[in-house]
Structure 1
Amino acid sequence: MTVETENGDLIGQQGERKSLNTPALVLDKAAMERNIARMAAFAADKGLALRPHAKTHKSIDIARLQLNAGARGICCAKLGEAEALAAAGTVPSILITSPVVSAPAIARLASLHEEIEEVMVVVDHPENVRALAAAFAADKPLDVLIDIDPGIHRTGVASPDAAVALAREIAAHPSLCLRGVQFYCGLHQHIQSYAERRAAIVERTGYLRGIVDQLTETGFAPDIISGGGTGTHEIDAELGLFTELQVGSYVFMDNEYGECELFGDAENFEAALFVDARIVSCNTPGMATVDAGFKALSTDGGKPVVTAGAPDGSAFIFMGDEHGGLVAADHAFEHGAAVTLQVPHCDPTVNLHDAYHVVDGDTLIDIWPVTARGRSR
């Protein structure tokens, strides 16, 4: 889905990536497609459904590639993301992984429920269950999953007994259909050591297994056990409890995941997402200023890594909203030179940009919209 931007006239011009008006969000299509194919093959081999998390890319173009590779549907963190992606193209199934609570949002959810083949939402409180039940009808019930707190106290029921109580509340409403549970260990995804991450997930999966057993014993056996992530998907598959994986960042591989030992005996996924910037000032020896700062790069995952356009080992420093600095002792930077930065944290970085500049090597081949940019409610 090509969109017009000031860089549109560069599409198809060999080697003209260097001429992009910067800062520009850049996507290496071939690397991303290899990541998509690798994860799809992994899920198929393990007999798991794949439900990639679109909060990472917020793109109907990338969602289509994932669906075409075999994904059963997508996840969206917020209702607004789900609406934007559903409106932009055919998505057969969407799971909204955060509770939908306000009256206006529930009304919007009801409209979305009429528009696509399958929409599911998580719940973690009886008041929310009752509010949702009042907005839907028994002849077309809303599918819900019980969100289970993995221990970070962000969302989710806080105990096995609370999960069973919520299941009973859902069962009391014909306009709702309990499909299963969600369990996402977000804090565990970036434990750098594979062995340490595995030990933590084994412990948490034991806790989840106890909840699933208690739900099953009380007549609420879950059909869907959804969760996992890029950092734990191999371990999750090995432990054999999840029925579907909510992996997201594997499509891009940001610095946070790049620093992790994702696999016990395999290479990480490939880096596919970058911000291209340009040197706009270089009057101090060993330093240069680029046109990418806080407004172009998320800061919550550390600093970007310089991958091209500056000497190996060049350090990046944030220098304000519009600018970043490059430091390389004794190097004479070239004024106006293009610089490529691997992003620190992909999800919020993507949300700072309107479009992906899709490249094949050094050639711009397309420009895709960030379909659900800013759809945070």
Structure 2
Amino acid sequence: MTSDRALHAHLIGRQGSRADLNTPVLVLDVDALDRNIAALAALAGSHGVGLRPHAKTHKSVDIAQRQLAAGAVGVCCAKIGEAEVLAYGGIAGILITSPVAAPRAIERLSALAARADGLLAVVDHPAVAERIDAALAAVGARLGVVIDIDPGIARTGVASADKAVELAQAIAALPQLDYRGVQFYCGSQQHIADFAERRAAIVERTAYLGTVIAALSDAGFAPAIVTGSGTGTHRIDLDLGVFTELQAGSYVFMDKQYLDCDLTGDGAPPFEVALAVDARVVSANHPGLVTIDAGFKSLSTDGGAAAVRSGAPADCVFAFMGDEHAALIAPGIGTRMQPGDPVTLTVPHCDPTVNLYDDYHVVAGDTLVDIWPVGARGRAR
């Protein structure tokens, strides 16, 4: 089997070597990445808010290290498997943002708590908290926990302020657990395209969060950590001033879903597009379309179609054509493009697209400068 490094390591440092990459390939502009990391770090810092960016977006020790170096207090991981990869890679301050409930997963969580600096996990049920406490006791470890609050989508989280208080009381009675605060992630609001509509939705949800915080505080459980937010609502949440830390993830890359949203209220994207899939034309036998080598196996489909960034006529339309292929459709495109021509695509949704690849091909300008593993790829449990 030919790995990315075996294919492409000889191109590292050679001027213009991006053009010689074997496509389809996941490409990361390191300068845009670093500017995005610095921009949100500075913005959060100017509001006195911590940044714990979500690593489910990038699944990369290399990128997490850059985020920590820029001032992040830690990172988030969606699953215990992601957290294991990053913790073993030396990343501290990890918060696991999905409940860990399966017996084997709880065993892994307790083992990780014994070795990972600053590990945190969410809980949303007293019985699960008890199981975690027992597993921690068996290995002699402690764990900071954050109460997950349902923002109204009925996915995870306690469903009311009263339930949050009950869970806090249960945690307080468990010797291996340390109550640290609350998590409130409004996922369904992140991609509301219109800024004013998104802001109104978040204002309403934040008011509800306020009632939960008040109930916890009245019961003696004022949260030291209030964590949540995302790329779509980071400006709004900073303005509202309730969160102590932000969990934004996609800001490091940007994708078509977020480019289709007004994130700031003035229509100007606050972050650059740093991630791309490079593809090539593989067939050009029809006047109105050409076929490229990137299909369902190369791009996530939950965010719609990819956007052509460069290499093809501006008026062309992208359409998936199966597992391995997509079409670029435009009048006369089959006579304007030839097999082998390169095309750069902005991905529809960055998180699941990254999960399709083993490595980032890191570029500066048009030169390949490194290859970074997507270390937590496929770590869904």
Q: What's the TM-score bracket when you normalise by the shorter of the two chains? A: over 0.9
* Secondary structure of the structure 1 residue equivalent to 2:111: helix
Give the residue type in structure 1 aligned to 2:352: P
Aligned partners of 1:339, 1:265: CA distance in 2, in Å? Answer: 30
Number of the residue aligned with 2:69: 68
* Secondary structure of the structure 2 residue equivalent to 1:136: helix
Structure 1: state its 5+ residue gaps.
none
Shift of 1:3: 7.3
Structure 2: state its 5+ residue gaps.
none
Please provide the CA RMSD for this pair. Answer: 1.3
Q: Comparing 114-123 with 197-206, which one deviates more in the overlay?
A: 114-123
Contact 1:53 1:247 in 2 (8 A): yes
Number of the residue aligned with 1:169: 170
Aligned partners of 2:302, 2:154: CA distance in 1, in Å? Answer: 20
Aligned partners of 2:366, 2:316: CA distance in 1, in Å? Answer: 21
Tell me whether 1:137 sits opposite 2:141 in the alignment: no
Number of the residue aligned with 2:258: 257
Contact 1:3 1:368 in 2 (8 A): no
Number of the residue aligned with 2:101: 101
Number of the residue aligned with 1:359: 363
TM-score normalized by the length of structure 1 = 0.97
Number of the residue aligned with 2:349: 345
Counterparts in 2 of 1:1-377, with a 5 A limit? 4-88=5-89, 90-137=90-137, 140-265=141-266, 267-268=268-269, 269-331=271-333, 332=335, 333-377=337-381
Shift of 1:102: 1.2
Aligned partners of 1:53, 1:92: CA distance in 2, in Å? Answer: 13
Contact 1:3 1:369 in 2 (8 A): no
Q: CA 1:310–1:3 in structure 2 vs 1: closer, same or farther (change >3 Å)?
A: closer
Give the residue type in structure 2 aligned to 1:374: G
Give the residue type in structure 1 aligned to 2:364: D
* Secondary structure of the structure 2 residue equivalent to 1:122: strand
Aligned partners of 1:314, 1:17: CA distance in 2, in Å? Answer: 23
Shift of 1:116: 1.5
Contact 2:317 2:329 in 1 (8 A): yes
Aligned partners of 2:347, 2:64: CA distance in 1, in Å? Answer: 20
Q: Determine what percentage of the aligned residue pairs are the same residue.
A: 60
TM-score normalized by the length of structure 2 = 0.96
Give the residue type in structure 2 aligned to 1:296: S
Give the residue type in structure 2 aligned to 1:91: I
* Secondary structure of the structure 1 residue equivalent to 2:14: coil
Aligned partners of 2:55, 2:206: CA distance in 1, in Å? Answer: 24
Deviations 1:38-74 (A, max 9, x none): 0000011000010000000000110011000000100
Aligned partners of 1:194, 1:104: CA distance in 2, in Å? Answer: 42
Aligned partners of 2:304, 2:33: CA distance in 1, in Å? Answer: 22
Contact 1:122 1:147 in 2 (8 A): yes
* Secondary structure of the structure 2 residue equivalent to 1:130: helix
Shift of 1:266: 6.7
* Secondary structure of the structure 2 residue equivalent to 1:294: coil
Contact 1:54 1:63 in 2 (8 A): yes
Q: Which runs of 4+ in 1 moved over 3 A?
A: 137-140
* Secondary structure of the structure 1 residue equivalent to 2:114: helix
Shift of 1:141: 2.3
Give the residue type in structure 2 aligned to 1:291: D
Q: Comparing 196-205 with 331-340, which one deviates more in the overlay?
A: 331-340
Aligned partners of 1:360, 1:197: CA distance in 2, in Å? Answer: 35
Give the residue type in structure 1 aligned to 2:127: E
Matched pairs, number: 375
Contact 2:41 2:71 in 1 (8 A): yes
Aligned partners of 2:286, 2:5: CA distance in 1, in Å? Answer: 37
Aligned partners of 2:341, 2:252: CA distance in 1, in Å? Answer: 28
Aligned partners of 1:310, 1:18: CA distance in 2, in Å? Answer: 15
